[in-house]
Amino acid sequence: MRVLAGQLVQSRKKTILAQIIFVVILITGGAGFIGSNLAIYIKKKFPAYRIYAFDNLKRRGSELNISRLKEQGVEFVHGDIRNAEDFDVIPHVDVVIDASADPSVLAGIDSSVYPLINTNLFGTVNCLELADKFKAAFIFLSTSRVYPIQTLENCLFDELDTRFVWKDKQNIAGVSSKGITESFSLEGSRSFYGTSKLASELLIQEYNALKGMKTVINRCGVVSGPWQMGKVDQGVLVLWLARHHFKGSLSYIGYGGKGKQMRDVMHVDDLADLVCYQIENLDTVNGQTCNVGGGLDVSFSLVELTALCQEITGNKIAIASVEQNRVADIRIYVSDYSKINRLTGWKPQRSLRQLLTDTYDWMKLNEHNLKNILN
Ligand SMILES: NC(=O)c1ccc[n+]([C@@H]2O[C@H](COP(=O)([O-])OP(=O)(O)OC[C@H]3O[C@@H](n4cnc5c(N)ncnc54)[C@H](O)[C@@H]3O)[C@@H](O)[C@H]2O)c1
């Protein structure tokens, strides 16, 4: 990291240092949901940082973020992580945040796996090579989907009135009613998407061990919030809210069609708080892989989500019921974030209700542009 001439002050306080150190950050997938929110959050917190948001605009709706990024002083670069030469316009970088991927768990199942693997795996290699060229640190947004589907499905659960929950006592290591820890098994099928992310994680560990790169892997559960372009196969909270707002239709699919499947969810600003901490404290998190999510306190089942969406939007829509499970689906996922909490003190601060009201405010404010994308 380079220090701007003449700006060094005597104080050793990190907060002051953060303002005077000129850090260059590259966020790949920087026009996507997480990437754009991170870029703007970091820029607001550290105005002296130079931030590049790099994106090929493949995800429908990402183009809406370009003007928003520019207004906040983030530099947008149109490029594709599959083409290493597209990075040539980046003169220097201190931290690479890799948030570019096809994030759908259904990708590659009824279609070719090439687009998924070329972006999510070979693209990661290009991002790592770029980081290595500049001796930059690497922050990776991985997924809870690295954990194998059948082992998750074998966890013991109870069926409550509105949701399924994991039992506290389990026959498998790394799971309790609080969720999944990093010691949960990695043996078994996990979807092409999950595999592409786990394979990227393994490569990142090698760059850390063999090339001395500072790295951190955040295995995120569901992340949501404003600017998420929710669709049927990804971004369920925004999809649910949008269908209520625009009066579309929805279905409870699988697990008996009762809508009791359950997930934790993290407000994107909670993730941004954590990434800001990681940028400032790379040595504390270097080489670590951590589960990151809302945890049991910020979790929902689909029927519970329906009730909240009805309350927030004032609309009630018909919801169909399909008993048969969707391929690669899971009954329950909750992140046990104890490890990252022990390491950094981080824990999610925003409730599910806040997440939904923040997202709804954004949806209403941008209704004209979002109508065709979310509806
Ligand atoms: N949103 C979640 O719930 C969630 C959960 C766990 C992990 N993640 C991870 O977080 C990251 C960001 O996800 P998101 O929810 O913001 O998804 P997103 O689809 O909103 O953003 C991804 C961005 O990457 C861009 N992109 C795709 N392929 C590219 C390529 N080849 N070159 C350049 N840009 C490309 C897309 O245009 C999009 O703007 C992903 O790596 C995903 O695996 C997301």
* pLDDT for residue 10: 41
Ligand 1 centroid–CA 126 distance in Å is 16
Return the residue matching tokens 């022990």: 342
Ligand 1 centroid–CA 123 distance in Å is 12
Q: How far apart are CA 270 and CA 267, in angstroms?
A: 5
Q: Which residues line ligand 1 (CB under 6 A)?
A: 28-29, 31-35, 55-59, 62, 80-82, 99-101, 103, 119, 123, 141, 143, 197, 220, 222-223
Nearest CA to ligand 1 atom 25: 29
3-state helix, strand, coil in the chain (%, to 5): 40, 20, 35
Q: How far apart are CA 201 and CA 126, in angstroms?
A: 14
Average pLDDT over residues 26-41: 98
Those residues with Cβ within 8 angstroms of residue 13's Cβ, 6 or more apart along the chain or in another chain: none
Ligand 1 centroid–CA 162 distance in Å is 31
In this predicted structure, the answer to whether residue 19 has a pLDDT above a threshold of 70 is no
* pLDDT for residue 22: 83
Nearest CA to ligand 1 atom 38: 32
* pLDDT for residue 83: 98
Nearest CA to ligand 1 atom 9: 141
Helices (H), the chain: 14-20, 33-45, 65-71, 114-117, 123-133, 149-153, 191-211, 236-245, 268-280, 282-285, 302-313, 338-344, 352-365, 367-374
Q: How far apart are CA 60 and CA 7, in angstroms?
A: 42
CA angle, 68 then 73 then 79, to 5°: 70
Please write the tens of the pLDDT for every residue from 99-157.
Answer: 999 999 999 999 999 999 999 999 999 999 999 999 999 999 999 999 999 999 999 99
In this predicted structure, the answer to whether residue 8 has a pLDDT above a threshold of 50 is no
Considering the entire predicted model, what is its pTM?
0.95
CA angle, 111 then 113 then 114, to 5°: 120
Please write the tens of the pLDDT for every residue from 155-165.
Answer: 999 999 999 99
Give whole-number Cα distances, 281 to 85, 215, 218, in Å.
31, 11, 15
* pLDDT for residue 5: 33
